[in-house]
Chain A
Amino acid sequence: MNTNASKSVRDVIAGHLDAVPRSGIRDFFEIVSTMQDVISLGIGEPDFDTPWHIREASIFALERGVTSYTSNFGLLKLRRAIAAYVDRMFGLRYSPEHEVLVTVGVSEALDIAIRAICNPGDEIMYHEPCYVSYGPLIQFAHGVPVAVPTSIENEFRLTRDALEAHVTPKTKALILNYPNNPTGAALTQADAQAIAEFVIDHDLLLITDEIYAELSYDHEHISAASFPNMRERTIFLHGFSKAWAMTGFRVGYACAPPELTDAMMKIHQYTMLCAPILSQEAALEALDEPENDIAGMKSEYQKRRNYLLRSFQEMGLSCFEPRGAFYAFPSVRETGLSSKDFALRLLEEEKVACVPGTAFGPSGEGFVRCSYATAFDALKEAIKRTAAFLKRL
């Protein structure tokens, strides 16, 4: 292809994509992938294998020739199991026939939830630092992303004051994610209630990404969706990637009142058709005795979290106590380095990878994300190297 031709190819790319930034995670990944012997605290997925009985169930399904499409909604037996689980765990009742949609991970569920409600120019709020896809998905839907910064002063919890400062007549919805990636922050009962009241007072929709709900330490998870009058204005998203260590299965779900579910279904049926049937079989098995599967991994994460916090303390890196997910978000402000420089130098000098906080939005400046979904031996080595790095600074 000559240069003229590639210029014109560039011209045909949809204009609104120009406004979508490259993922800061991808940039960093590309640097890391050129290096040898890196210990990574930059991984946003569990280091555990999927529990064997779940893998075994999908092997068995494969052997039986379970290789077809399913209903667009997903297998009914799976939707029943999901409805029962969401009721038991979150106190939210959804009809398996009309209000549960099985998706290709929470990733797809986020996409169709946003596209189902967003008219061009609608503003959708989300708190920041946050998972990397929220802003771009809103842009793909021709909406306006409105990031509401959260800060270390509130331990990255979203407050009503912050929300009030960003709401406008054009605001359509709020996306919520607690326990939070990348900060590990969780909401208190009072926080969640204040957010629910805000959503109702401004007549908004809530899209709540509950993917880390099970990984809550020393407290009971509370969903903003569970307050009175919230259910009818909430799209509830959850999946199996994190608590069950099933990222590669690509399976999650959206629960919402029938009209909202129908709207999401319109997109889902033409874009995905259905989630992979083997993954749906695996998800069904995962809901058989979830507490059993999760307890062991959770207690391991909690020990690693404690270890990381105390080690940061010893090396003089200040870090608030993460209360969920598997991330710690220490401040690097006192080193005088920016997030990115800190992460780059730690990588180059000590071969330890963590993710600059700015990959999750500008309000992540001054912080780095350290994932403790990392085997304990690797975690120990990473801590040793990071301490040596800090000493030299």
Chain B
Amino acid sequence: MDELLKILKNNALESPENIAKMLNVSADEVRERIADYEKRGVIKGYQAIVNEDVLDIDRVTALIEVKVNPEREGGFNHVASRISKFPEVQSIYLVSGDFDLLLFVVGRDLKQVAFFVSEKLATIDGVQGTATHFMLKTYKHHGVLMESQDEYERLKVSP
């Protein structure tokens, strides 16, 4: 992957001036390249990584396995695209293994997610079955550990 993207994936707030120094190019070039990535849809947006466990918010996330009967034309794509449009669905992936689609769904509470699964998801043509797992605790999210560990300090000056 392009070094510029690596830097932004690690810290999207890094300034074009600093990135320019790291990559030994001009800040204008960095701005142009970022704009180009945005225009081409390589960069789809920027979000904060929030540790929701420390916030007192009423929200649940469920991971839902969905078995799908693929259609003769379009395979899984048609069903997946219909499911994607529900705002409750945060992420959706086609996966190999015992089931076909993996969803991350958020709701106000357990009841709301259960309602979504039974009334919206299970009733879609082609959906054969679902299994819902509620998330209890987040240890690591987007490559970031949620629980900060005590930093072990190195010597301030060493040979």
A interface residue numbers (CB < 8 A to B): 23, 25, 28-29, 32-33, 38, 40, 42-45, 47, 131-133, 181, 299, 303-304, 306-307, 310-311, 353, 355, 380
12 contacts between A and B (CB under 8 A): A23-B159, A25-B158, A40-B156, A43-B155, A43-B158, A303-B7, A303-B23, A304-B22, A306-B22, A307-B18, A311-B21, A380-B18
Measured between beta carbons, the chain A residues less than 8 angstroms from B6 are 299
- Which residues from 1 to 60 on chain B have a C-beta closer than 8 Å to any C-beta of chain A? 3, 6-7, 18, 20-24
Contact A28 B21 (CB under 8 A): no
Chain B positions 116 through 159: 1 when the CB is less than 8 Å from some CB of chain A, otherwise 0: 00000000000000000000000000000000000000111111
Q: Which residues of B contact A (CB under 8 A)?
A: 3, 6-7, 18, 20-24, 154-159
Q: Among B22, B157, B158, B159, find the residue whose CB has the most chain A CB atoms closer than 10 A.
A: B157
Complex formed: what's the CA distance from A43 to B157 in Å? 5
Q: Which residues of B contact A47 (CB under 8 A)?
A: 154
Contact call A42/B3, Cβ cutoff below 8 A = no
B24 surroundings in chain A (CB, below 8 A):
306, 310
Q: Closest A-chain residue to B20, C-beta based?
A: A310
Q: A311-B21, A380-B18 are in contact. Are A303 and B156 (CB under 8 A)?
A: no
Cβ of B20: which chain A residues have Cβ within 8 Å of it? 310
Q: Decide: A353 and B22 in contact? CB cutoff 8 A.
A: no
Task: Please tell me if the beta carbons of B22 and A131 are within 8 angstroms of each other in the complex.
Answer: no
Q: Is the CB of A42 within 8 A of B158?
A: yes
Kindly provide the distance from the CB of A182 to the nearest chain B CB, expressed in whole angstroms.
9
Chain B residues near A44 (CB, 8 Å)?
158-159
Of A29, A131, A181, A307, which contacts B155 at CB under 8 A?
A: A29
Additional A-B contact list (12), CB under 8 Å, known A44-B159, A306-B24: A28-B157, A33-B156, A40-B157, A43-B156, A45-B158, A299-B3, A299-B6, A303-B7, A303-B22, A306-B21, A306-B23, A355-B157
Name the residue of chain B whose CB is nearest to the CB of A23: B159
Contact A42 B22, CB 8 Å, known A299-B3, A303-B3, A303-B7:
no
Task: Judge whether B21 and A307 touch: CB under 8 Å.
Answer: yes
Identify A133's interface contact among B21, B157, B159, CB under 8 A: B159
Return B44 CB to nearest CB of chain A, in Å: 24
Asked if B18 and A25 make an inter-chain contact with CB atoms under 8 angstroms apart, the answer reads no
Q: Which residues of A are found within 8 Å of B18, using beta-carbon distances?
A: 307, 380
Q: Is the CB of A43 within 8 A of B154?
A: yes
Check if B159 sits within 8 Å of A25, measured CB to CB. yes
C-alpha gap A29/B155 in the complex (Å):
8
- Smallest beta-carbon distance A126→chain B, Å: 15
B154 touches A29 (CB 8 A): no
Q: Please, which residue of chain B has its CB at the minimum distance from the CB of A343?
A: B157
Closest to B25 in A: A306
| A303 / chain B contacts, CB cutoff of 8 Å | 3, 7, 22-23
Report which residue of B7, B20, B158 has the largest number of chain A beta carbons within 10 angstroms of its beta carbon.
B158
Report the minimum CB–CB distance from A229 to chain B (whole Å).
Answer: 33
The reply to whether B159 and A132 contact each other, CB–CB distance below 8 Å, is yes
Q: How far is the CA of A181 from the CA of B158 in the complex (A)?
A: 12
| A44 smallest CB distance to B (angstroms) | 5
Chain A residues closer than 8 Å to B21, beta-carbon distance: 306-307, 310-311
Residues of B within 8 A of A311 (CB): 21
Task: Quote the shortest CB–CB distance from B9 to chain A (angstroms).
Answer: 13
A132 to B159 alpha-carbon distance, docked (Å): 7
User: How many whole Å from A29's CB to the nearest CB in chain B?
Assistant: 4
Q: CB-CB < 8 A to A29: which residues of B?
A: 155-158
Given contacts A299-B3, A303-B3, A311-B21, contact A353 B156 (CB under 8 A): yes
B11's nearest neighbour on chain A, judged by CB, is A376
Interface centre among A45, A47, A299, A307 (most CB of B within 10 A): A307
Q: Which residue of B lies closest to A310 (CB)?
A: B21
Minimum CB distance partner of B15 in chain A: A380
Residues of chain A lying within 8 A (CB to CB) of residue B156 = 29, 32-33, 38, 40, 42-43, 353
